[in-house]
Structure 1
Amino acid sequence: MLATLVIGLREGLEAALIVGIIAAFLRKNGKSLTAMWLGVGLAVLLSIAVGVGLDLVEQALPQASQEGMESVIGGIAVFFVTGMIVWMNAHAGGMKRGLEAEAAQALGRGSAYALAVMAFLAVLKEGFETAVFLLATFSAAQSAALAATGAVIGVLLAVVIGWGIYIGGVKINLSRFFRFTGAFLILVAAGLVITALRTAHEAGWVNAGQQPTVSLSWLVAPGTIQSAMITGVLGIPADPRLIEVLGWFAYLVPIALFVFWPAARRPRRHAVVRLQFTIAAALAVIAVAMAIAIPTPRPQLSGKAMIVEATGSDQTDIGSARLSDSAPATVQISLKGTTPSTVSLPPGDARHEQHEGIAASAWTLTEISVPPKAPATLTLDQVIALSGGRVPVGLNPQRHPGPFAADWSTHATTEVWTADGVLLDATAHATTIVSLSDSGLLAPRTLTAASALPGDWQLSNDYLDQAAAALNAVALARTERLLWAVQLPLVLGFAALLLGAIACRGRGRLRRSVRTVSDQPNPHVGRRAGHSTP
């Protein structure tokens, strides 16, 4: 409530001053105030329509989009209030005289409508800024009703003060008023920076810098006066994140120093240029250091994965698998009691899919082979054992007593998933097929062997958990690196270039001014000593 009251009072007073000065000029010169009041009323209605429209659009969006729009509105509000604070800090002292001069000039051209348009544009500007700033403040407020009440009270106070100034009954030091309220609004705007960063995270825009810093739950317990002041007014949450703390300081410190640094201690023109070059160089050095000092994260995982039986539940170690660094990549599979084999992973055969919640490259490789030491003939009892203790369909023990000629083939399917150069998962399934003939069979009979040679395996659950955890940690670390080693250095580098360009422009102006002074003729040159101009 306090924040919205100050916003309404400050913005409303600025608009009331403009309207009051224009009204005084019109009344003094015998002009009608009707056109001016129509312009003021239209500007107020348009400002309300902007605020209501933005709120309706936000409410119609999905939740994530609402959070994103709140971030955008918060950023615009911070931009508006910062510009207002800086401008008022520089012009508040002469604001009244400047407005009177502009009004006199407009009236001197014989047009009362020019003053009405001036009032309309001034109120529209302040009303639009107020609507955006209040909408952003409502989003961060603990109670929208109290926030709205504070805004209404602030605007009404501004109208009363403006009326008092208009009739001459109220005297106010505008410079001191705007300087005091500016200090408060800087804190409010810094809180809006925190709110905008938090809603940007909830919208999925900012995922880095979310590490907890300090817990302020002891200070901003819900329902307390401290919570209403610190969280409700200043926008500081009980659990500020790292990026929110950095954003708060990055906004508050430079703006406060720029606005409130004593005028007597402000550097002169040459010192300003040197300071600008120094700050630009420091920003560039920091940007380069951040880009270089933060390494690219790599998965920290053992290269060898344990293989277990696919049908077992005890996760017994039966071998290992290792992903090579060669091109193309291969997987070396070593099963106990068998000869190690190599599975090649051609890049062109890979497909991209989600596996264990991770974006991975996947291969499905099929191989047909003859089982080693497979018997060429099978008795009826062996056939029944291969079929799981049942007589296969199509065989009659009386008509087909055996032995049978056996034609064996093994269809082995291996699936491999890799991500970021890490073996994420692998499974193998082997199906042995026997084609029986002879012993009275009119046509070959095919059966799938239920007890084939060992070949079904998978990676252990422990390895799968470790691989998923390592890859998720790398993804999070790369998100962090994108912010600290790429995005922030780019912002700092742009700021350094901009500040350097401003410093070069200032130095050029200083050189031109020195050259102009040196080119002016010296009135004492060419006169004899001791003589002076009469």
Structure 2
Amino acid sequence: MGNALFIVWRESVEAILIISILLAWIRTRDDTRIGVHHLWAGVAGGLALAGFLALAMLGVHGWLAAGALEVFQTAIVFVAAGLITHMVLWMRAHGRHMKRELESGLSHAAESAGGASVAMLAAIAVGREGAETVLFLYGLAMEQSGDTLARLFAGAGIGFVLALATAWVILSGARWLPSRLFFRASEVVLLLLAVALLVSGVERLIDMEWLPPLMEPVWDSSALLDDGSTAGGIAAAFAGYRAQPSLMVLIAWLGYWGVVALLGRLQRRSAA
């Protein structure tokens, strides 16, 4: 429930902030060719795109045979982990100047496309966040059932409500929750979620005998923190913790943080 809540919260906040920037730009510009209805048309289009992806995922889920379905689900886990990581790195590079870049791009596009430029940008923003959310939730939900699955979707609903409140606070300029602090803190949690998904995907490949475990287990820390306990389960879901990890899982976990650190360093050099 907790990871679904956080993912929906974070993704929804980003989409809501973009929509708010577009809305403020429209009202400030006061251009008769560009109205608020163009913005809401784009939002509706983005939601429709995300909904279509969700239906497509369910259709594929019901159509594939057991073996092919397992491969498909494993691929989705890796795609979700990659998308989370890409989103964090993209926000590090563009988040600080996102408002300025959006307004500059809109001004140029509006000269030729008018209201269609706003609708298109809103559709892309909402569709992108919605599609990522669908992939993330699918990756989390495919191993759940019954009450656990219901709690996951309840968490998603709570996450959206919290996103509305968070976006309102940020847009109101509250000093106790500046946008920079919010995005920095959420980046850490998102990267932890991404590595947890990566570990889950690697374990799936090991179970399918596509990867060797190499050595299993490398250690046993069950006495300190059992990943079957409540606290251990939270650490497993949010950070990929395993009390009895295989060497392959450990290599994947350490390799992920090595790649993230390298990409972050290259990003900082490029910005400098």
Alpha-carbon deviation of 1:228?
Answer: 3.1
Aligned to 1:187: 192
1:151 paired residue number: 156
**Relative contact order (alpha carbons < 8 A, sep ≥ 6): 1 or 2 greater?**
2
Offset at residue 20 of structure 1 (A): 1.0
How many pairs does the alignment contain? 265
- The range that moved more, 40-49 or 210-219, is 210-219
**8 Å contact 1:140–1:235 — kept in the other structure?**
no
Max Rg structure: 1
2:123 corresponds to 1:120: yes
Cα pair distance change 1:107/1:267, threshold 3 Å: closer
1:70 paired with 2:73, answer yes
Q: Could you tell me how far 1:185 is from its partner in structure 2? A: 1.2
- Of residues 195, 202, 206, the one that matches 1:201 is 206
Deviations 1:33-53 (A, max 9, x none): 223212212211321331342
Matching residue of 1:7: 7
Q: In the aligned structure 2, how far is the partner of 1:103 from the partner of 1:262?
A: 26
Q: CA deviation at 1:248?
A: 0.7
How do 1:223-372 and structure 2 match up within 5 A? Answer: 224-256=229-261, 258-259=263-264
1:153/1:260 Cα in 2 relative to 1: closer, same or farther (>3 Å)? farther
Q: CA deviation at 1:152?
A: 2.2
Alignment of 1:384-423 (within 5 A): none
Partners of 2:83 and 2:122 in 1: how far apart? Answer: 20
Q: Distance in 1 between matches of 2:44 and 2:271?
A: 45
1:207, 1:161 → 2: CA distance? 44
Deviation, structure 1 residue 268: 11
Answer whether contact 2:221 2:243 (CA < 8 A) is retained.
yes
Pairwise CA distance, 1:208? 4.9
| CA deviation string 1:160-189 (max 9, x = no partner) | 3335556x4656533332221111111111
Partner of 1:27: 27
Q: Partner residue of 1:286?
A: none
One-letter code of the match for 2:127?
L
Q: Structure 2: how far apart are the matches of 1:79 and 1:149? A: 25
Contact 1:220/1:230 (<8 A) preserved: no
Q: Among 223, 226, 234, which residue is 1:220 paired with?
A: 226
- Output one character per residue of 1:7-53: Cα deviation in whole Å (capped at 9) or x when no partner: 11221111111111111222331643223212212211321331342
> How far apart are residue 199 of structure 1 and its match?
1.4
Is 1:220–1:231's contact at 8 Å kept on the other side of the alignment?
Answer: no
Aligned to 2:135: 132
Normalising by the residue count of structure 2, what TM-score does the alignment of the two structures yield? 0.83
Amino acid at match of 2:118: L
Aligned-partner Cα distance in 1 for 2:215–2:138: 25
In the superposition, relative to structure 1, how do residues 161 and 260 fare at CA in structure 2: closer, same or farther (>3 Å)?
farther
Q: Map Cα deviations across residues 478-499 of structure 1 (whole Å, 9 max, x no partner).
A: xxxxxxxxxxxxxxxxxxxxxx
Q: Deviations over 1:295-345 (max 9, x none)?
A: xxxxxxxxxxxxxxxxxxxxxxxxxxxxxxxxxxxxxxxxxxxxxxxxxxx
Give the share of equivalent positions with the same residue, in percent.
Answer: 28
Contact 1:44–1:127 (Cα < 8 Å) also in 2: yes
Distance in structure 2 (CA, Å) of the matches to 1:96 and 1:242: 44
> Quick one: structure 1 residues 49 and 169, their matched pair in 2 at CA, closer, same or farther if it must change by over 3 Å?
same
Following superposition, the deviation at residue 140 of structure 1 comes to 5.6
Q: Structure 1 residue 210: deviation in Å?
A: 5.7
Counterpart CA distance in 2 for 1:146 and 1:189 is: 21
Equivalent pair of 2:88/2:187 in contact (CA under 8 Å): yes
Asked if residue 96 in structure 1 is aligned to residue 99 in structure 2, the reply is: yes
Cα RMSD for the two superposed structures: 3.0
Partners in 1 of 2:144 and 2:237 — Cα distance? 5
Using the size of structure 1 for normalisation, the TM-score is 0.45
Higher strand share: 1
Q: CA deviation at 1:234?
A: 2.8
State the distance in 2 between where 1:62 and 1:236 align: 31
Amino acid at match of 1:114: S
User: Take 1:165 and 1:111, find their aligned partners in 2: how far apart are those partners?
Assistant: 29
Runs (5+) with no aligned partner, structure 2: none
* Structure 2 counterpart SS, 1:94: helix
**Aligned partners of 2:3, 2:46: CA distance in 1, in Å?**
23
The alpha carbon displacement at 1:59 in A equals: 4.4
